[in-house]
Chains A and B, each alone.
Chain A
C-alpha cells in the first residue's frame, strides 16, 4: 500500500524539519523583542484565540472553534455529496454505461443480422452453382447421346450406301463380263471364219469361250 522506503523518507524529513524548527525557530523568537511586545498587545486586544506562545496546534483555546466549524463544514459537505454530488456523477456514469451496452447490443444484433444475410447469400450461391453443374452435366449427356445417335445413323447410312454401291458394282461387273463373253464369242467366230473359212456353229464357239474364260479366271 504505502512504500516502506517512502515512509523512511517521510520520517527522515519530519525529523529534519523538527530539528530545523528547534534550531532556526529560536533566534526569530529571541530577536524580535519589538514584535513580541506587539504580539502581547494583540493578544490582549483579541480575546483568547490569538495565542503566540508554543505550537499553535497545541493551543486548546482554538479547539472549540475548529471542532465547531469542522462539524458544520464537514456535515454540510457530507449531506451535499451524498444527496446531490455523488448521485449526479453516478447518474452520468450509469447513463454512459447504459448507452455503451445499448450500442453494443445493437451492434451485436446487427452483426447477427449481417451474418444471417451472408449465410443466406452463400447458400444461394452454392445452390445456384450445384444446379448449374447439374444442368451442365445433363446437357453434356444429352449432347453426347445425340452425337452418338447421329454417328450411328451416319455409320449405318454409309454402310447401306457401301452395300448398295458394292451391289451395283457387282451388277455392272456381271454385265461387263457378259458383254466380254459375247464380244469374245463374236470375235472368236469371226476369227475362225476368217482363218478356217468355215462358219462355226454358235454353240461350239460359246462352249470354247466359256472354257477359255474359266481357264483365265
Chain B
C-alpha cells in the first residue's frame, strides 16, 4: 500500500457535496487549490502591507514575482498585452504554487491531474481565441493560412494549421500534467525501493536502501526545478498564444 506510487494521486473526499446530480465534493485536490490561491493572495497582500521603499523579504518576493511575470508578458506577448497581465499572473502563480506545494511530502499536487491542467489550458485557448476574434473579427481566420504561401497548397495547409491550433490546449495541458505526474511517481518509486529492500533484506537492506534515498535527494532538487520550469513553460506559451492573437503573425 505504502509502495503504490500512484496512491499519492488519489482524490480523497473531505466534504461530500452534490449539485444537480454532479459530485462536486470538496476533496484534497480542492483543499490544495484553496491553499494555493490563499498563499498567492496572502503573499501579494502581506508583502505590500508595509509599502516600504526598501523592501523586506516578503515584499521582495512579491515584487520579484510581479516583475518576473510582467517582464515575461512584455517580452513575449508585447506591450499591447498589458491588459491581460492579471490573467497571466494568476495562471503562473496558481500553477507555480500548485507545483511547489506538491513538493512538500504528504501534500497533493493538483497540477498532476489532467483534468485540472486541461481546464486551465482550455481557459487559455478559449480566452486567446476570443481575444483574436474581438480584435480582428472575421480576419482572424486568415491566421490559418500563412501569408505568402501558394494558393494551391491551401487544401493541405489550412487543415494542418487548424489541427495544430486545436492541439494547443492538448499539448499545453499534457506537458504540465505528465511532467508533474512522472516526477512525483519517480520519487515515490525510488522511496518504495528503500522500503522494499529493508523489508526483504533486513540489515543489508538498511545499507542498500540508502542508495535510492541518495538518488531521491538529487531527484527532489531536480523536481523543484521541473516544478518551476513547467509553470514557466505553461505561462510563456500562454504569452506566445496571446501574442499570436494580437498580431496574427
Q: Mark B217-235, 1 if CB is under 8 A from A, else 0.
A: 0000010001001000100
Known contacts A20-B189, A81-B90: A65-B40 contact under CB 8 Å: no
| Interface residue? B238 (CB, 8 A) | no
B51 CB within 8 Å of chain A: yes
Query: Nearest residue in B to A90 (C-beta to C-beta)?
Result: B66
The one of A21, A66, A85, A93 in contact with B44, judged by C-beta atoms closer than 8 angstroms, is: A85
Inter-subunit contact B11/A14 (CB<8 Å): no
Once A25-B6, A81-B89 are accepted as A-B contacts, the answer to whether A62 and B11 lie under 8 Å apart by CB is yes
Given the interface pairs A50-B12, A50-B13, A65-B11, the reply to whether A89 lies near B48 with Cβ below 8 Å is yes
Near B by CB (< 8 A), chain A positions 1-55 give: 1-2, 6, 10, 13-14, 16-18, 20-21, 24-25, 28-29, 32, 35, 46-50, 55
Majority secondary structure of chain A interface residues (helix, strand, loop or mixed):
helix
Interface size class of A (residues with CB under 8 A): 35 or more
Contact between A77 and B37, CB atoms less than 8 A apart:
yes
Residues in B whose Cβ lies below 8 Å from that of A67: 115, 119
15 contacts between A and B (CB under 8 A): A13-B182, A14-B178, A46-B13, A61-B23, A62-B113, A65-B29, A67-B119, A73-B34, A82-B86, A82-B90, A86-B89, A88-B48, A89-B47, A90-B66, A92-B52
> B interface vs A, CB < 8 Å?
1, 3-6, 9-13, 16-17, 19, 22-27, 29-30, 33-34, 36-37, 40-41, 44-45, 47-48, 51-53, 55, 59, 62-63, 66-67, 85-87, 89-90, 93-94, 110, 112-116, 119-120, 123, 177-179, 181-183, 185-186, 189, 192-193, 222, 226, 229, 233, 236
